Structure 1
Amino acid sequence: MKKQIITISREFGSGGRLIGRRLADDLGIPYYDKELLSRIAEESGFSREMMEEAEMKAKNSFFYSLSSAFGTGDSGPDSLSLNERFFLAQFDTIRKIADEGSCVIVGRCADYVLRGIQGATNIFIYAEAEDKIKRAVEEYGVPEKDVKKIMNDTDKARANYYNYHTGRKWGDPVNYNLCIDSGYISIENIVKIIKDYLELKLDR
């Protein structure tokens, strides 16, 4: 099998993480989601918890941009802000993982990091609000009274983080090879669609 690198970006509640895991299992290739953060932390020395918190702080785009813009005043890489250093560590680790072979990577701007890489396929999973809420409550265990706020805050943070670091718009179809509404199709069938797409893409 030729090297297949699949990146999955997703709206909260769309099932993107579940789809990524199932796809990796079906293809028999490594899967990186929370595992990616652990590896970034191991290779960079940064705290995994601090990196997770940094992304969620992006739900306020103004303050995230402000905190990212100001460095330490030193010279070289150490002059960058902590947010920028986190992103560069993430960038380097994702590139290393892609060099190692086939994999599925969820989130972390991986579609941007691996732009132009041969064998990379970028997927965006989305759904209508009512479908995302239903999945978040029933499958993720999010309390019903909190689900709308968590969904909105998470997607806002993901969008602002992506837009700031890539200069592109999160969720814009032009950034992806395949965009799928997960509200109308089972995870099993979505995985089948992706696998069929990968085969057709290889045949091109």
Structure 2
Amino acid sequence: MNKIITISRQYGSGGRQIGKKTAEIFGIPFYDSEIITQAARESGFAEQAFEKAEEKATNSLLYSITMGMNAYAAHDYGVAGLSVDDRIFLAQSDVIRRVAEEGSCVIVGRCADYILKDKENVVNIFICAGLDFRIQHAVSQYGLSSTKAAESILKYDKRRANYYNYHSTQRWGDVNNYHLSIRSDFGGIDHAVNCIKAFLEVE
């Protein structure tokens, strides 16, 4: 198999677990926070700076104002006009492109599906689930209360959507962006992994 698998996911849907298990089945590298670690090391930015850049995306209006003006400036005046957050995104993108060039792998989040949209051997997957499943999953995996889990689901989904929508010309969660969408609450985590395996083997 020579495939780059990108996984976008709703918070609490088990997307990271599904991605990791998929990588293990095929014996290929798995990248999630590892992307941030490599990008931080190569760019000189602290890992916390990458996390902060994503946190800003919680408020779409604020995110567009704080980043958008600098993006337009960059278009006219080159890289010198880029905001810190834009440069952080570019550093992260460089790492994603490089690991994709190195061979088959699974990459979770980070707008990887959009960054690699021109590569032919990329399979984009979206993992979603019903709210009750996601709350239960967040409670069991992250030790949150039910109330806190529900709040986190809304916050992180909004953050991911705003971050993705700003950095791409696509919309986060739009089925047209993905080759396969799976509801992880139908059959559970292992069933979702088996669905991906079967899909890739047909491919």
Question: Which amino acid in structure 2 is aligned with residue 28 of structure 1?
Answer: G
Question: Which amino acid in structure 1 is aligned with residue 146 of structure 2?
Answer: E
Aligned residue for 1:70, secondary structure, equals helix
Same amino acid, percent of matched pairs: 47
1:95 is aligned to 97
Matches within 5 A, 1:175-194: 175-194=177-196
User: Which shows bigger deviation, 139-148 or 180-189?
Assistant: 139-148
Q: Which runs of 5+ in 1 are unaligned?
A: none
**Separation (CA, whole Å) in 1 of partners of 2:69 and 2:171:** 23
**Separation (CA, whole Å) in 1 of partners of 2:29 and 2:43:** 21
2:21 is aligned to 22
Is 1:37 matched up with 2:36? yes
Name the structure where helix makes up a greater proportion of residues.
2
2:10 is aligned to 11
Q: TM-score, normalised by structure 2?
A: 0.94
Question: Which amino acid in structure 2 is aligned with residue 113 of structure 1?
Answer: I
Matches within 5 A, 1:1-204: 2-71=1-70, 75-201=77-203
Deviation at 1:71, TM superposition (A): 3.0
Superposed CA deviations along residues 146-166 of structure 1, whole A, max 9, x for unmatched, are 111111010000000000110
Deviation at 1:189, TM superposition (A): 1.5
CA contact (8 A) 1:8 1:123 kept: yes
Question: Which amino acid in structure 2 is aligned with residue 64 of structure 1?
Answer: Y
CA contact (8 A) 1:7 1:107 kept: yes
How much is the aligned-residue C-alpha RMSD, in angstroms?
Answer: 1.5
Q: Which runs of 5+ in 2 are unaligned?
A: none
Question: Which amino acid in structure 1 is aligned with residue 145 of structure 2?
Answer: P
Question: Which amino acid in structure 1 is aligned with residue 160 of structure 2?
Answer: R
User: Which shows bigger deviation, 93-102 or 44-53?
Assistant: 44-53
The count of residues paired between Structure 1 and Structure 2 equals 200
Deviation at 1:85, TM superposition (A): 1.0
**Separation (CA, whole Å) in 1 of partners of 2:150 and 2:42:** 35
**Separation (CA, whole Å) in 1 of partners of 2:147 and 2:189:** 26
Structure 1 residue runs of 4 or more that deviate by more than 4 Å after TM superposition: 72-75
Q: TM-score, normalised by structure 1?
A: 0.94
**Separation (CA, whole Å) in 2 of partners of 1:90 and 1:143:** 33
CA contact (8 A) 1:9 1:125 kept: yes
CA contact (8 A) 1:67 1:83 kept: no
Aligned residue for 2:96, secondary structure, equals helix
CA contact (8 A) 1:133 1:147 kept: yes
CA contact (8 A) 1:24 1:31 kept: yes
